[in-house]
Amino acid sequence: MKQSLTLTASLRTGTSTKKRHSHSYFTSEQIERARSIGELGLAVIAILGIVTVAAVAPNLLIAIDKFFIRKHKRRLTHAEKEEKTAQTIYYLKRHGLIHLKQQKGDWIINLTKLGNARITRLQFDLMHIAKPTGWDGKWWLVAGDIPTKTHRHWADLLRKKLKKLGFYSLQRTLWLYPYNPIKEINIVVGYYHLQRFITIMEIAQLDVDDKKLMMDHFRKEKIF
């Protein structure tokens, strides 16, 4: 396709603009959790802001290379990475997530309204709790007093999300974690409209047997 060849050729030159999207806080861990090259492309564009295709390309080339090593245990040739990069950009455009505008021999990428919404969801899906350099020996308890008659759906979604984040379920309404999760939990309960039903508490110590159980669990989950 002539347009595809033009786009692929343009990957080698160009610059970024200074404007940034409000979604520029994807972490390296979130990038690594991306489940598809399309998600990688969205994340890279969100981090860089309004850019030319050429400015996105080097970052996306690196991300795609790491993705294939992680997912498929092989490296792509440079030609394959360029082809995957061009395909990714066209995929995002075809699905209405970005808008491409030709300008001075290059292509400017802008996120669409749908693209911004998808990034917000992607950040939520790829969320993780940052692991500090050292553990202070304290625990964090998330307690829920959610009225199931009116909020059962959201309560079920919250439980699934906490499990995905690696929390240990003491009961249906009590979850334990070794690192400070306040920022992430506030985002999660806000997303599910459950702020007024959730309490986060720091616990200085656990019973000896409970501590051993928790330590074994979080080591198994590779959180420690």
As a whole number of angstroms, the distance between CA 108 and CA 102 comes to 6
**pLDDT single digits (tens) 103-162:** 888 889 999 999 999 999 999 999 999 889 999 999 999 999 999 899 999 999 999 999
User: Which H helix or E strand runs over 100?
Assistant: strand 98-103
CB 47 within 8 A of CB 15: no
CB 117 within 8 A of CB 17: no
**Predicted TM-score (pTM) of this structure:** 0.77
Count of positions (residues) in the chain: 224
CATH topology of domain 2-125: Arc Repressor Mutant, subunit A (1.10.10)
As a whole number of angstroms, the distance between CA 162 and CA 151 comes to 16
Return the pLDDT at 106.
Answer: 84
Neighbours of 115 (CB within 10 A): 23
| Domain residue spans of the chain | 2-125, 139-220
HEC string for 189-205: HHHCCCHHHEEEEEECC
200 has a pLDDT exceeding 90: yes
**pLDDT single digits (tens) 26-65:** 888 888 889 999 999 999 998 888 788 888 989 999 999 9
- Note the helical H segments in the chain: 2-9, 28-32, 37-48, 53-72, 78-94, 113-125, 148-165, 182-191, 208-220
Instruction: Look up residue 179 and give its DSSP letter.
Output: S
Task: Take residue 79 and report the two structure tokens written for it.
Answer: 């030609």
Return the pLDDT at 28.
Answer: 80
Task: Tell which CATH architecture fits domain 139-220.
Answer: 2-Layer Sandwich (3.30)
